[in-house]
Amino acid sequence: MKRVYLKKGREESLKRFHPWVFSGAILKHTGGVKEGDIVEIYSFHDEFLGCGHYQSGTIAVRVLSFDNLALTTQFWQMRLERAYRARKLAGIISDESCNTNSYRLIHGEGDLLPGLIVDYYNGVAVIQAHSVGMYISLSMVTDALKLVYQDKLKAVYNKSLSTAPQKGESKIEDGYLYRDNDSSEIGVIKENGLRFFVDWEEGQKTGFFLDQRENRDLLRRFANGKKVLNLFCYTGGFSVYAMAGGAELTHSVDSSVNAIEMTEKNIELNRDLYNSGSEHSSFCTDAIEYIKKAERGFYDIIVVDPPAFAKHRGALPNALRAYQRLNQYAIDAVKDGGIILTYSCSQIVDKTSFSEAVFSAAANSGRDVTIIGRLTQPADHPVNIYHPEGEYLKGLVLMVN
């Protein structure tokens, strides 16, 4: 087995079960370690600490096990079954109800599989590998998915081109790893009784933002009789929930033509669930410019759900300024007594920094702003207690007067 040895005293984080080994902690490797290899990790004093995928870069090893296990198909099946049971325990997977048939099965470190994302869309598993080692392991992951889901699994689609580094012996490509004769390229899923088209081949990430499921349902409870603005709407998830909740009017805004087209399709897909007088309009334009110029006091509820403004530490100051500016526009625009649901999905923006950016936005607006709710990611996006970096989604529900 290929090995990585750590510098003296650098094993403490692994003994606390943190699943990353940083490149600066490594003393040497043996056995001709290559990109994507499975390596054993040893301390300076030759003590076994774990095993995982090796990769050049800041995070040098992503730990798959702190025990000396053989990483066979049985290992992957064991991990996937563990994740499946956790979703079932949380009520996300239910044999008695088909109100929700899509969820995240594997959430990287939160499910003890660093570098792997698996989203399940009503029989189609969409995989994103975030490391070369995980990409190389996808055939075993696929075999394990077949064992877990049996005949419920219609297809496995690999969508790792945009996530796995282009290194190692294998060139990263997207495509089907498994497909039966009944699977289609674009699926229809159910989420809390609502229906959505999902394009896992061409859509962002795996095709749908499953992490906002509970927060979308919260909007449905607020929306009756209200005028709702959904900024950065993507495929219209929040908009569909607002309409289903009885919103008088819903506006969806996104700069992507494809996103707006999919939003319109999803609105129509649920038309039978809306009040007869409910209206919807989409606007393909820059969301920040739209809210900046919006009529003051027109909207009762504004949803602010932008893409990640910061993907690395160097971008953090600019990201916080962007969150402040965007939220100030929303606070300025919303009606007296109105509600703002505002989010950040940037992992490096912690809850405190995000709250401070929104505080600055409120202070600059001069309006009375109260936090009436704090939001996060759902149970199918778990956070490993030894890896707090996995808590990435944070949100605030604001009441503005």
Q: Domain check: are 161 and 233 in the same one?
A: no
Phi, psi angles (nearest 5°) of residue 396:
-130, 140
Q: Domain check: are 229 and 362 in the same one?
A: yes
Q: Which amino acid is at 349?
A: V
Tell whether 118 is covered by a domain.
yes
Tell whether 170 is covered by a domain.
yes
Round to the nearest angstrom and report the end-to-end CA distance of the chain: 64
Q: Domain check: are 226 and 168 in the same one?
A: no
Tell whether 321 is covered by a domain.
yes
Q: Domain check: are 61 and 77 in the same one?
A: no
Q: Domain check: are 117 and 40 in the same one?
A: no
Residue 386 sits in a domain of what CATH number? 3.40.50.150
Tell whether 237 is covered by a domain.
yes
Q: Domain check: are 15 and 93 in the same one?
A: no
Which among 226, 175, 167 is positioned nearest to 200, based on CA atoms? 175
Query: Which residues form the domain of 181?
Result: 73-188
Q: Domain check: are 257 and 178 in the same one?
A: no
Which among 310, 388, 370 is positioned nearest to 346, based on CA atoms? 310
Q: Domain check: are 104 and 236 in the same one?
A: no
The whole-angstrom separation of Cα 31 and Cα 173 is 28
Q: Domain check: are 287 and 171 in the same one?
A: no
pTM: 0.94
Instruction: Give the pLDDT of residue 162.
Output: 87
Tell whether 193 is covered by a domain.
no
Q: Domain check: are 132 and 171 in the same one?
A: yes
Tell whether 196 is covered by a domain.
no
Q: Domain check: are 290 and 380 in the same one?
A: yes
Tell whether 41 is covered by a domain.
yes
Residue 180 sits in a domain of what CATH number? 3.30.750.80
230 and 239 in contact (C-beta within 8 Å)?
A: yes
Instruction: Give the pLDDT of residue 167.
Output: 65
Q: How many domains does the chain have?
A: 3
pLDDT along the chain (401 residues), means of 10: 94 96 96 94 97 95 94 95 97 81 97 98 96 95 97 95 74 90 79 96 94 97 98 97 97 97 97 92 97 96 92 84 96 98 94 96 96 97 96 97 96
The whole-angstrom separation of Cα 271 and Cα 264 is 11
Beta strand 155-158 with 124-129 is parallel
Provide the CA 182 distance to its chain's centre, in angstroms. 28
Burial zone of 118 (CB within 10 Å; 0-12 exposed, 13-18 middle, 19+ buried):
buried
The whole-angstrom separation of Cα 342 and Cα 35 is 40
